[in-house]
Every structure is written in C-alpha cells, then in structure tokens.
Amino acid sequence: MPPKKGGPGGRGAEHELRYGIVRTVSASMARGLTTKDLGAPDLALARRQQEAYVRTLRALGMEVTVLEALDALPDSHFVEDVAVLVRGTAILTRPAADERRGEVALIRPVLETRMPVRELGGRETDRLDGGDVLVSGGRVWIGIGRRTNRRGAELLRQRLREVDPSLGVTLVPFSGCLHLKSGITALAPGRFIADPALRLARPWTGGSVHWLPPAEGTAADVLVANGAILVDAASPSARRLAEEAGGRAIPLDLSEFRKMDGGLTCLSLLY
Ligand code: CIR
C-alpha cells in the first residue's frame, strides 16, 4: 500500500506522479450515459484499451492500483469524476448524474487509506464532476456547464482555498462539450489544447490555446504524466501539438471509451 502522504500538486502540474488508481471497465459499460451516437462499445476491446493505458502509466513510473469492476455502475471506470486530487488531498465530488452518485461512496475507502479526504459540502443540488476540474501549473479551472453547476464550483473553490490558499482558481462557464476537460486540457503549464466545439463564456486567460481541427476535437482531453503526454491515437494533430509542447507523445486507442463520452483523463486518479 502506498504511503498515506500524497505528492504536491495535481494533474498537469510539473511534479512527478507516483500513484494511479484505475477501476476495471464495468461489464455493463454499454448501459452508461452518452451523448454520442457511435454504436455500442465492445467490452473486451475496452478492457484491452484500458490495460494498455495501465501499462503506459506503469511504464512512466507510477504504481497503479486497478480496482475491481462495479458491474452495477456502468460508468464507474471513469474514476476521475468522483474525486479531485490536489496537493495530496482528495476532495470527494457530487456527480451531476444521479446514476453516478453511488460511485463516490465506493472510492472513498480507497482514498482514505492514502491521503486526507474532504467532503465537497453544500446541498444535494450542488453538483460537481471531476471532469470539469483542470489543474495545471499551480492553477485550477473549474468548468460550469452541463454537469457542474455554479454552487458546486464555488464549493470546490472554497475547499481548494482550505487545502492551499495560494492556488489560483478560475470558474469557467462553458458549453459545447460534456466536461470542461472534454473541451480543453493543458499540454504544459500555460499551453492548452482545445476542441473548437468548446464555447467559452469569456476568453481563456491561462495562456495560449491550440485549437484542434473539428474532426479531431474530442482529442482535446490529453493526459500529461511524468514528461509524457498521452494522446488519442485517432488524432495526428493532438500528437503533433504534444510534441511541439516538448512532451513525448504516447498515442493510445480509446475508441470504446469515446463511444461513452470518455477520454484519457477520465480513466484514472493520479497523484
Ligand atoms: C458520463 O456521461 O458521465 C460518462 N459516460 C462519461 C464520463 C467521462 N468523464 C470525464 O470526461 N471526466
């Protein structure tokens, strides 16, 4: 079991990631939520794609724990949505989709053996999905969109201030994508990759934004880890942008997760 203490920072920060938590793809994944019309996912192929993802994280030096599948919860392998890890602390979320609420209680004991765990607080109607939280270079952007609402975002800002008052936190109203990180992630601090489908209520203030061609827009969810940038193998542009940002681009097949609105960051909690 890894030590109780987590490293500083969060995903997208420049510190070394040492641990990963992944949950085996649910046997009922085809019954999960989706906005896409790409057909039913192939469970066996999804599990192979997830195995390649885990192998990649391990090759990058992380000790990865693969939790048992929760077959009654079809989206439970998208572990990113149930907790926000920052500065060695976990903040449990309150996912917007009622179908996904049961996932939080099942990740809690896993996180409690590893780091301090905090509640989001607030009311039942205050909602937050981890996929709406982008951490990079000591800053945090919290998307307010289809899933996370304003109260949920404000509660997370309060919790983050308690964890580290020096973290800069920006609330980002947006539309056009399911989660903020479906639409924009950081290739490096101050350098972002985005889906042109993303509609921001205000111009992005964190640095330069590199827009993907529309046909490759869903590849905006890249995962930066230990000097490498994991990118969707279906997007040559994401690969090129990752290389231009100075990272070693590692393409991974994600076809089955894409059918269910999933991407690279959704599949793990890293610290
Ligand atoms: C959902 O709709 O909640 C899942 N089918 C996909 C969640 C993807 N998670 C993420 O982007 N962080």
Cα–Cα distance list, 54 to 74, 174, 208 (Å): 20, 31, 30
C-alpha angle 160/162/165, rounded to 5°? 75
- pLDDT (0 to 100) of residue 181: 98
Known catalytic residue: 77? no
Residues of the chain with pLDDT under 50: 1-13
pLDDT of residue 3: 36
For the Cβ of 97 lying below 6 angstroms from any atom of ligand 1, the answer is yes
Structure confidence at residue 2 (pLDDT): 40
Q: 3-state class of 167 per DSSP?
A: coil
- Rounded to a whole number of angstroms, the CA Rg of the chain reads 17
Helix or strand (DSSP H, E) at 143: strand 139-144
Q: Please state the pTM of the whole predicted model.
A: 0.94
According to the model, what pLDDT value does residue 15 have?
82
Which of 77, 177, 179, 210 is the catalytic position? 179
- In short, whether 143's Cβ falls inside 6 Å of ligand 1 is no
pLDDT for 1: 37
pLDDT digits (tens, 9 = 90+) for 93-150: 999 999 999 999 999 999 999 999 999 999 999 999 999 999 999 999 999 999 999 9
Say if ligand 1 is within 6 A of residue 132 CB: no
- Using alpha carbons only, give the angle 198, 127, 140 rounded to the nearest 5 degrees: 55
